[in-house]
Amino acid sequence: MLLQVIFYIAVAAEAMTAALAAGRRKMDWFGVCVLASVTALGGGTARDLLLGHYPLIWVENPYLLVLCCAAAFVPIALARYMAALRWPFLLLDALGLVVFTIIGCSIAMEMGQQPIIVIVAGLVTGIVGGILRDVLCNDIPLVFSSELYATVAIVSGVLYYLGQSAGLPHDVVIVGTIVVGFTLRVLAIVFKLEMPKFVYDKDLR
């Protein structure tokens, strides 16, 4: 129950952040809704396709599409105030990353997948939506070039898997994973913590 409530909050948050990206690209309202849905549900869709987990999450629960579209209109209505709401949206995005990762890991574990696949399922669920958003906006995906993002998903996935494997109470594992993953992501934003980058600018010609 706890995870489900947080999941809906995370879906709405991701849809709203996608709507902001659509606004910066001057998309029409249909584009805003499409980008919001792709961002919020793309990770779960990719995970289900890779694992053969059917029906797809938004096919099983079509109201998720309604939630995405409704949430996408919130930034439109609050456009003049969005600059002041930058941090709340960053925090919601951080929460969404960790929650999506937990859900991906949970589904993979229910399917009896191996530990590595469980972590990958969580990673895919957490980051693919954002990658699709950035690709559709013709940007270099944030996950490849900014503060720790994929690393947070991996750490969160490992913590969730270990907690579940140890037989700890499910809600305790969820809360503990969210606290650690969320804190790590916020620290990465505040202190601009990044993975080492590969820079090669020599001309081979």
- Pull the structure tokens for residue 12: 């709405």
Lowest mean pLDDT among 6-20, 129-143, 163-177, 187-201: 187-201
pTM: predicted TM-score of the whole model, two decimal places: 0.92
Query: Per-residue pLDDT averaged across 171-179, rounded?
Result: 95
Is the omega angle on the peptide bond into residue 115 within 30 degrees of 0, that is, cis?
A: no
* Angle at 141 (CA atoms; ends 137, 143), nearest 5 degrees: 145
Q: CA 54, CA 10: separation in Å to the nearest integer?
A: 22
Is residue 146 over pLDDT 70?
A: no
Is residue 133 over pLDDT 80?
A: yes
